[in-house]
């Protein structure tokens, strides 16, 4: 009579329930971050080890990362206690946009964050390298800080993207209780022979896609105004509770309806969430639907 053989490997039959917590932590440090989130749901012991600030600081040390330590070093209160989410998403105090998309189908989309949606007006968006200027009309403080840009036309050229707070690594509790500032910035200039108009905005929506807050900036250039890169910054803070998604929008057009690309030039856009608490709003905001959200 032949002996039966087990098909279960030692690794598959290993019981970790009695393992010393210090040994478990040393094992967990070697796991991928997203697997650790699943491990924290196995039992209370594993959850108590993994869901701590000290563990995630140690995990980043093990991986050669410094994000959580950089937040701690600011000596500001850390907004949120889900340190796994903070370490994986890294929502605060850094640029959240990239400026290239290898999968883009055109020069415009290949040289922009892949989350942007571009809407064409007039002759449409154009990626220009180097930017086109009138050589004799630079402002005395002009500096060639960008060697390429996105240029707009005589009809409104707009771009936008939508992000959930979950995508950013923020929780409903953080948004409702602390209202961290959301900052969108972009560098803008003109071609001096044609007047033009630039606008950018941040809009917040609740879970029903009703707009609950909106901030906008506008910059206009007169014809023959000297060319100078200017940083336009929109700051959303002290917003009402319930924000669950964010829309960023910027747009431009020339003011003389010229064929070509004589509208505002844009470069170096960036989105940042500051790790700061802001006061509650002092005035109510009238709800608006997503269909009412301005597109310029």
- Pair 77, 130 in one domain: no
pLDDT tens digits, 36-75: 988 887 788 888 888 899 999 999 999 999 999 999 999 9
Is residue 212 one of the residues assigned to a domain?
yes
User: Which contacts of 105-112 are long-range, i.e. CB under 8 A and separated by 24 or more positions?
Assistant: 108/150, 111/148, 111/150, 112/150, 112/159
3-class DSSP state for residue 3? coil
Partnered with residue 80 across adjacent β-strands are none
> Rg for the chain (alpha carbons), in Å?
25
Annotate 190-234 with DSSP letters as a single string: --TTS-EEEEEEEEEE-TTSEEEEEEEEEEEE-TTPPB--EEEEE
- Pair 145, 186 in one domain: yes
Whether residue 292 has pLDDT greater than 50: no
pLDDT tens digits, 149-166: 999 999 999 999 999 999
d(Cα 105, Cα 257) in Å, to the nearest integer? 28
Is residue 142 one of the residues assigned to a domain?
yes
- Pair 82, 132 in one domain: no
Is residue 205 one of the residues assigned to a domain?
yes
- Pair 267, 136 in one domain: yes
- Pair 207, 79 in one domain: no
CATH classification at residue 30: 1.20.1280
CATH classification at residue 155: 2.60.120.260
The parent domain of residue 74 ranges over 16-89
If one counts every other C-beta atom within 10 angstroms of the C-beta of residue 58, the result is 16
* Predicted confidence band of residue 11 (pLDDT cuts 50, 70, 90): low
Terminal-to-terminal C-alpha distance of the chain: 83
Is residue 20 one of the residues assigned to a domain?
yes
- Pair 39, 117 in one domain: no
d(Cα 226, Cα 195) in Å, to the nearest integer? 11
- Pair 170, 266 in one domain: yes
3-class DSSP state for residue 245? strand
* Predicted confidence band of residue 21 (pLDDT cuts 50, 70, 90): confident
- Pair 128, 213 in one domain: yes
Sign of CA dihedral 224, 197, 215, 115: negative
- Pair 52, 116 in one domain: no
- Pair 140, 51 in one domain: no
């Amino acid at each position: 009579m032949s002996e039966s053989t087990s098909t279960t490997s030692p690794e598959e039959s290993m019981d970790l329930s009695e393992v010393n917590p210090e040994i478990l932590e040393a094992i967990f440090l070697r796991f991928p971050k997203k697997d650790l989130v699943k491990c924290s749901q196995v039992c209370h012991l594993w959850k108590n080890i993994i869901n701590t600030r000290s563990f995630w600081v140690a995990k980043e040390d093990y991986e050669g990362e410094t994000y959580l330590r950089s937040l701690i070093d600011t000596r500001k209160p850390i907004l949120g206690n889900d340190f796994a989410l903070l370490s994986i998403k890294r929502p605060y105090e850094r640029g959240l946009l990239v400026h290239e998309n290898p999968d883009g189908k055109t020069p415009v989309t290949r040289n922009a964050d892949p989350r942007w949606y571009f809407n064409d007006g007039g002759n449409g968006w154009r990626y220009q390298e180097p930017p086109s200027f009138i050589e004799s009309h630079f402002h005395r403080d002009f500096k060639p800080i960008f060697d390429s840009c996105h240029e707009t036309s005589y009809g409104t050229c707009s771009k936008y993207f939508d992000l959930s707070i979950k995508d950013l690594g923020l929780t409903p509790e953080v948004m409702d209780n602390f209202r961290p500032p959301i900052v969108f910035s972009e560098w803008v200039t003109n071609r001096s022979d044609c007047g033009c108009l630039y606008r950018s905005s941040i809009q917040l929506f609740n879970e029903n896609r009703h707009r609950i807050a909106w901030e906008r900036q506008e910059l206009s250039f007169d014809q023959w105004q000297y060319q100078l890169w200017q940083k336009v910054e929109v700051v959303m803070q002290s917003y009402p509770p319930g924000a669950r998604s964010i829309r960023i929008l910027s747009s431009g057009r020339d003011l003389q309806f010229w064929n070509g690309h004589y509208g505002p030039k844009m470069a170096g856009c960036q989105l940042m969430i500051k790790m700061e608490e802001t006061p509650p709003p002092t005035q109510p905001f009238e709800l608006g639907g997503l269909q009412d959200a301005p597109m310029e």
